Amino acid sequence: MKLIKSFKALRPKKGKENDVIAPPYDVLSSSEAREMAKNKPFSFLHVSKPEIDLDPKIEFNNPKVYEKGAENLNDLIKDKILIQENEDCLYIYEIILNEISQTGIGCIASVEAYKKNIIKKHEYTKPEKEDDRVENITKLKAQTGPVLLAYKNTDRISQLIHKVKDQKPVYNVFAHDGSNHKIWIVDNNGQIEKILSEINSMESLFIADGHHRSAAATRVKEKFSKKNPTHNGNENYNFFLAVAFPHSEMTILDYNRIIRGLNGQSVDFLISNIEKNFSIKKHDKEFKPVTKNTFGMYIDKNWYELNAIKENINLTDPVKSLDVSILHDTIIEPLLGICDERTDPRIDFVGGARGLKELENRVNNDGFDIAFALFPTPIEALIDVAEANKVMPPKSTRFEPKLLDGLLSHLIN
């Protein structure tokens, strides 16, 4: 079974890319998107967050929102701000941030391989978020947010990619976070076949980020195929937009926790209970973990270093051995009373890019009582969980920098 294939991307006309590019739809609130898109009629936010062009009182999942998104996308195509490739191509996509580079392959990935768990997942999805993406894709008749895939890299693929990067990129843009995004078009059939052959010979690919988009693409395929009497499995709706990166180049940041309330305990009593599973050391300044099984804790305006006592944790199970699981199973659930981190309003999550000062700020000023800083989940741990067909706890990984919206889209009509 083919895992990925080339496709005719919908992309900005050369010279319009800086007018089009936008952050992913799910990293901005509607108000933030509305402000960012001011005086930018070609911003892709008009497609990915079309509520910005409607009454602010309208909910994000109102049918009018999806209709407006389709109208805006069609206008960009009609005005030739966005153009579609004439032939199937692959796209080499490089992101550089803080002098760290990662280079992936823009492609479309098989829904059937996803359904058969050859393209492996590691997270549950939320029904309301999945429903939103289904309506979005259905109305647009396009997939506009790439799924972030990982593959076990090989020297052969690296060599093929570097040959393409010897040429000048078609796009070279900077995102709002300072990350540099470059794209090269692979339109040589020989190069395309060599890259596809390498990827499609692999046992598996892994979804790193984009579980809702890939799950939604599966549901859209079912909808479209039922309405197509000549369905044969080769139609564009049988695939979802993706960029596949070698696992060794992927950057995962820590995903930290902040919690309201101490479950009726005093600070001293809570710390004494934590000492049953951790050695604790108080620090004069902020503490950022540099190895797994080590945590930073901020409480009562003090930082502590927590080191898990190895005899008390499960180091063999790929899920139970994750730091996010250790923290949940020894402190967050039994001591702080939070069973479901997905739904309990007492817990919130802070991406590592915001730094430890943000944890201090949220505890000191926003009504939170305790914060935990974690060591980033290694990409190898994600792969281990996916290969075991298990699911990671919520907010286990945060991939930065994000792929931009607007540079590559996939028409499925």
Please, are residues 121 and 213 in contact by the beta-carbon 8 Å criterion?
no
259-300 residue pLDDT tens: 999 999 999 999 999 999 999 999 999 999 999 999 999 999
Tell me the percentage of the chain whose pLDDT exceeds 90. 90
In a domain? residue 387: no
Q: Over 90: is that where the pLDDT of 343 sits?
A: no
- The residue whose two tokens read 């020894």 is 330
Please, are residues 215 and 109 in contact by the beta-carbon 8 Å criterion?
no
In a domain? residue 393: no
The half-sphere exposure of 61 on its side-chain side, counting CA atoms within 13 A, is 9
24-75 residue pLDDT tens: 998 899 999 999 999 999 999 999 999 999 999 999 889 999 999 999 999 9
| pLDDT for 27 | 87
Closest by alpha carbon to 150, among 76, 78, 249? 249
Q: Over 90: is that where the pLDDT of 361 sits?
A: yes
| pLDDT for 395 | 86
CA distance linking residue 228 with residue 209, whole number of Å:
30
| pLDDT for 322 | 96
- Same domain? For 368 and 233 the reply is no
- Same domain? For 207 and 356 the reply is no
The residue type found at 288 is K
- Same domain? For 263 and 308 the reply is yes
Residues in CB range of 108: below 8 A, 6 or more apart: 4, 5, 6, 7, 236, 239, 240, 241, 242, 410
- Same domain? For 44 and 180 the reply is yes
| pLDDT for 124 | 87
181-223 residue pLDDT tens: 999 999 999 999 999 999 999 999 999 999 999 999 999 999 9
- The residue whose two tokens read 């741990």 is 381
Closest by alpha carbon to 293, among 315, 317, 319? 315
- Same domain? For 40 and 60 the reply is yes
pLDDT bin (cut points 50, 70, 90) of residue 315 is confident
C-alpha distances out from residue 228 to 140, 165, 236, Å:
18, 40, 12
pLDDT bin (cut points 50, 70, 90) of residue 354 is confident
Task: Count other C-beta atoms under 10 Å from residue 58's C-beta.
Answer: 15
| pLDDT for 1 | 81
> What is the residue-averaged pLDDT of the chain?
95
* Neighbour-count burial of 202, counting CB atoms closer than 10 A to its CB (0-12 exposed, 13-18 middle, 19+ buried): middle
H-assigned helices in 127-183: 127-140, 155-165
**What is the C-alpha radius of gyration for the chain, rounded to an integer number of angstroms?**
22
Mean pLDDT of 340-368: 94
- Same domain? For 228 and 295 the reply is no
- Same domain? For 201 and 313 the reply is no
- Same domain? For 222 and 340 the reply is no
| pLDDT for 312 | 87
Closest by alpha carbon to 28, among 45, 40, 9? 45
Instruction: Find the CATH number of the domain harbouring 335.
Output: 3.30.1760
In a domain? residue 394: no
Task: Count other C-beta atoms under 10 Å from residue 168's C-beta.
Answer: 8
- Same domain? For 10 and 109 the reply is yes
In a domain? residue 390: no
In a domain? residue 336: yes
CA distance linking residue 280 with residue 272, whole number of Å:
10
E strands, 180-325, are 180-186, 205-209, 239-246, 252-253, 255-259, 278-283, 294-299, 302-308
Q: Over 90: is that where the pLDDT of 397 sits?
A: no
Q: Over 90: is that where the pLDDT of 158 sits?
A: yes
- Same domain? For 86 and 148 the reply is yes
Task: Count other C-beta atoms under 10 Å from residue 193's C-beta.
Answer: 12
In a domain? residue 385: no
| pLDDT for 212 | 94
Q: Over 90: is that where the pLDDT of 342 sits?
A: no
Q: Over 90: is that where the pLDDT of 314 sits?
A: no
Residues in CB range of 80: below 8 A, 6 or more apart: 13
pLDDT bin (cut points 50, 70, 90) of residue 332 is very high
Domain range for 289 is 255-375
Closest by alpha carbon to 92, among 21, 195, 16? 195
Q: Over 90: is that where the pLDDT of 105 sits?
A: yes
In a domain? residue 380: no
Q: What is the DSSP letter of 118?
A: S
Instruction: Say if residue 401 is preceded by a cis peptide, omega within 30 of 0.
Output: yes
Mean pLDDT of 117-122: 95
- Same domain? For 171 and 69 the reply is yes
Mean pLDDT of 158-169: 95
- Same domain? For 172 and 192 the reply is yes
Q: Over 90: is that where the pLDDT of 357 sits?
A: yes
By residue count, the chain amounts to 413
Q: What is the DSSP letter of 378?
A: P
Number of domains in the chain: 2
Please, are residues 46 and 72 in contact by the beta-carbon 8 Å criterion?
yes
State both tokens at 248: 């060794």
Element housing 93 (H / E):
strand 90-97
CA distance linking residue 370 with residue 362, whole number of Å:
9
State both tokens at 263: 């479950």
Q: Over 90: is that where the pLDDT of 9 sits?
A: yes
Lowest mean pLDDT among 85-89, 162-166, 247-251: 247-251
In a domain? residue 172: yes
Mean pLDDT of 15-21: 98
Tell me the percentage of the chain whose pLDDT exceeds 70. 100
CA distance linking residue 264 with residue 267, whole number of Å:
10
